[in-house]
Homo-oligomer: A and B are copies of this chain.
Amino acid sequence: MDVTGSAAPLNPSECQRVGQVLARVGDKWTVMVISELGDGSQRFNELRRNVPGVSQRMLTLTLKNLERDGLVTRTVTPSVPPRVDYALTDLGRSMLVPVRALGQWAQAHIPQMDAARERYDRIALEGSILDR
């Protein structure tokens, strides 16, 4: 299969890895954190305030994975208390473009997806009533 639309089709192992990257990139918190850092570096508590609904644990885990993948830097300033800033790397910044394109698509098409979902659930419910 060809995930990318490029000339050379992917072999199964490449396809798998692209899928893994997409699974990570598509993660809700990852997308929100990358978007948020697109406007400049932030401290942990700022991020926590700016990413609605994220728990301390999930934000810590998301930032650790992003740092591990080379998408985000973590800078500790040894003040009292220590100050920790997170910022996008060049690699992370390059991801903003496709992530925002997908975000734009999602925002534009959420109403259609919601309507489809309601229709599907209504038909499924009617089906289960008729089945009784």
Contact = CB atoms under 8 A, between A and B. Distances in A.
Contacts of A21: 106, 109-110, 113
B98 A4 contact: no
A105 to B, nearest CB: 5
Contacts of A97: 101, 105
Copies of this protein, total: 2
Mostly, the A contact residues are: helix
Interface residues of A, number: 64
Interface in A32-84: 32, 35-36, 38-39, 50-53, 67-71
A128 interface: no
B1 A116 contact: no
A27 B26 contact: yes
A67 to B, nearest CB: 7
